[in-house]
Amino acid sequence: AQTVTQSQPEMSVQEAETVTLSCTYDTSESNYYLFWYKQPPSRQMILVIRQEAYKQQNATENRFSVNFQKAAKSFSLKISDSQLGDTAMYFCAFIRDYGGATNKLIFGTGTLLAVQP
Amino acid sequence: NAGVTQTPKFRILKIGQSMTLQCTQDMNHNYMYWYRQDPGMGLKLIYYSVGAGITDKGEVPNGYNVSRSTTEDFPLRLELAAPSQTSVYFCASSYYTSGFSDTQYFGPGTRLTVL
């Protein structure tokens, strides 16, 4: 069974600084996708970034980038130039590249990030 | 595009009551999902659908039912509400075809309290 582990329940960072959130996963599959979702106090689940396992290049989206280490099964999120609006719960998620019952997101337990002014 | 919409945003139920949570997507996605999020936890899959007329159970289906008569709509029915069903419910949708799995897009959630 696939599992996703986020070992940092809470983190804090000063505005304009850089922070890295950790995520590890366990799977025997070779084709899969990894995601970081952000959940602000509004509770909306917002996609931050997506990584296809077959791509060696790390995904980037503006101030957000990932360090994808497939052999180590590690998928960390780096937030540069942190902003107050980045304060949220961040979830790492995994999905296999198959349809049907297996096409479901497996979520970690989340990391609560607080950006301090 | 409105994306994924859910109604209601909040609801309080008494034990034993029933209700339907509505979910609609306008992205022509074939896959739709219902998740629940308990306090301090990630999301867990309740039910999913791979297309109109086809639904199946996820990890935590007990106490819930779904139907999918159209591509756009995927309502979740709670029968005989129990305090254990107090949670935030998210509907999501995505496009899947062999060899490609699109991102799941989420609705704004429904906060349900059962007293």
Residue A108 corresponds to which amino acid? G
Least CB–CB distance from B45: residue in A4, A100, A104: A104
Chain B CB contacts of A51 below 8 Å: none
Q: How far is CA A20 from CA A41, B91, B94, B95, in A?
A: 20, 29, 28, 30
* Cα–Cα nearest to B22, from B1, B7, B40: B7
Quote the CA–CA distance of A24 and A40 in Å, as a whole number. 22
3-class state of residue A85 by DSSP: helix
**Taking all residues of chain B, what is their mean pLDDT, rounded to a whole number?**
92
Task: Report the percent of chain B where pLDDT is more than 90.
Answer: 81
The predicted-structure confidence for B5-45, as pLDDT tens digits, reads as follows 999 999 999 999 999 999 999 999 999 999 999 987 889 99
* SS3 assignment, position A37: strand
Cβ-Cβ contacts under 8 Å, B33 against chain A? 104-105
Per residue in B99-111, pLDDT tens? 666 788 999 999 9
In angstroms, the CA A19 to CA A72 distance is: 20
pLDDT at position A95 is 87
Cα gap B13→B81, rounded to integer Å: 7
| CB pair distance less than 8 Å for A97 and B48 | no
- Look at residues A70, A109, A103 and name the one whose alpha carbon lies nearest to residue A89: A109
Tens digit of each residue's pLDDT (9 = 90 or more) over B61-101: 999 999 999 999 999 999 899 999 999 999 999 888 766 66
Residue type, A68: F
Q: Write out the residues of chain A at the interface with chain B, using a CB-CB cutoff of 8 A.
A: 4, 33, 35, 37, 42-47, 50, 91, 93, 95, 97, 99-101, 103-105, 107-110
Cβ contact B50–A43 (<8 Å): no
DSSP code at position B16: T
Per-residue confidence (pLDDT) for residue A34, from 0 to 100:
94
Lowest mean pLDDT among A76-85, A94-103, B66-75, B77-86: A94-103
